[in-house]
Amino acid sequence: MREIVKRATGQITRRTFLGATALVGLASAGPLSAANPGWTMRLSTSSIHFKDLPVEQACEQIARLGFEAVDLWSAHDNCPHLDDALKRLGGQGIKETLAKNRLALCAFSVYRGGYAKYAELLGATGGGVAVQGSAPPCPPEELSARMKKFIESLKPLNELAEKYQSWLAIENHGNALLDSLESFKAFTDLNHLPRVGIALAPYHLQSRKASVEEAIAISGKQLLFFYAWQNGNGTDQLPGHGPTDFAPWLKALAKIHYPRYVNPFMHGQMETARMAAALAKAKEYLQHKAKET
């Protein structure tokens, strides 16, 4: 790990990227078996952390850090990756980029543009999870009716997901329909769409002092994406940087046998070397905490 951090935090050139990727490979990217014998933690991270790099180089950087998979972002905060891939690479180009770096596809994050814009591209990569937001908030007494109406509105997207062998994960967010634990319960009780589930963002649950472990339990089999993301500023949003102990969250994931990726995440831009070092620390921390599950 020390060597990976050293390389990630040094001066990074195109030649360094192209030459070192194959050598470093995924030395520490193999799935980490937790103490819980029925669960394995798998790690990904998001391309928006390296939005100043072309999508190919962002994938190279993520692979060099030892992550197993990548979450590719659309144009939120001017991240160019998915739109560039849509126009220039296509599904085959994305698959070739991932294969070159021995990365799997964790997700497409489509907060800007929406799932329908990228559904065919996701299908052309082999299918997978797309993440987007919910709807405006409502008074508590209207929650059940509004959630039912929202889920009904997702039927066309569910059909697209079926067509393209994909799933749509709805993220909880502050000041949104999917926000409180009560809204998680309403969503999971009312959701009858087989290709629709939840993307859980602890950052927003912590801001309302809601239990992340309870939200994981409520989500159960409908949990399609998990942000390893705590409420804080700057790098304190990342695991192992801010004060949150992630072990209880990982234990809750193990309890429901969550099968997908744990995705260290933060909002905010840093230059490449600093971001790489921060993510390397977050990854090492999660691997250590997974042993406590």
What backbone torsions phi and psi does residue 225 show, to the nearest 5 degrees?
Answer: -155, 140
pLDDT at residue 36, rounded to an integer: 54
Task: Tell me the angle at which helices 212-219 and 247-255 cross, rounded to the nearest 10 degrees.
Answer: 20
pLDDT of residue 38: 73
All residue ranges of the chain with pLDDT < 50 are 1-35
| pLDDT score recorded for residue 34 | 39
Q: What is the pLDDT of residue 293?
A: 82
Query: What is d(CA 63, CA 87) in angstroms, rounded to the nearest whole number?
Result: 23
Res 189: pLDDT: 98
- Provide the pairing of β-strand 40-46 with 32-33: antiparallel
- Report the residue count for the chain: 293
Question: What pLDDT is stored for residue 13 in this prediction?
Answer: 41
CA pair distance 16, 7, nearest whole angstrom: 9
pTM (two decimals): 0.88
Q: Where are the alpha helices (DSSP H) in the chain?
A: 2-9, 14-24, 55-64, 81-84, 90-100, 115-124, 143-153, 155-163, 181-190, 202-207, 212-219, 247-255, 272-290
Name the CA dihedral angle for 280, 26, 216, 170, rounded to a multiple of 10 degrees. Answer: 100
pLDDT value at position 37? 62
Contact predicate 64/29, CB 8 Å:
no
Rounded CA separation 96/248 (Å): 37
Q: Are the C-beta atoms of residues 133 and 168 closer than 8 Å to each other?
A: no
CA distances 150 to 138, 181, 182, Å, are: 12, 17, 15
Residues forming beta bridges with residue 44, ordered by sequence position: 69
- Residue 67 has what pLDDT? 98
- Position 14 scores a pLDDT of 35
What Rg value do the Cα atoms of the chain yield, rounded? 18
pLDDT recorded at residue 292: 86
Residue 54 exposure: Cα atoms within 13 Å on the Cβ side: 10
Q: pLDDT digit string (tens) for 5-59?
A: 444 444 344 333 333 333 333 333 334 433 456 789 999 999 999 999 999 999 9
Residues 26 and 63 sit within 8 Å (Cβ to Cβ)? yes
Q: 16, exposed or middle or buried, with CB in 10 Å at 0-12, 13-18, 19+?
A: middle
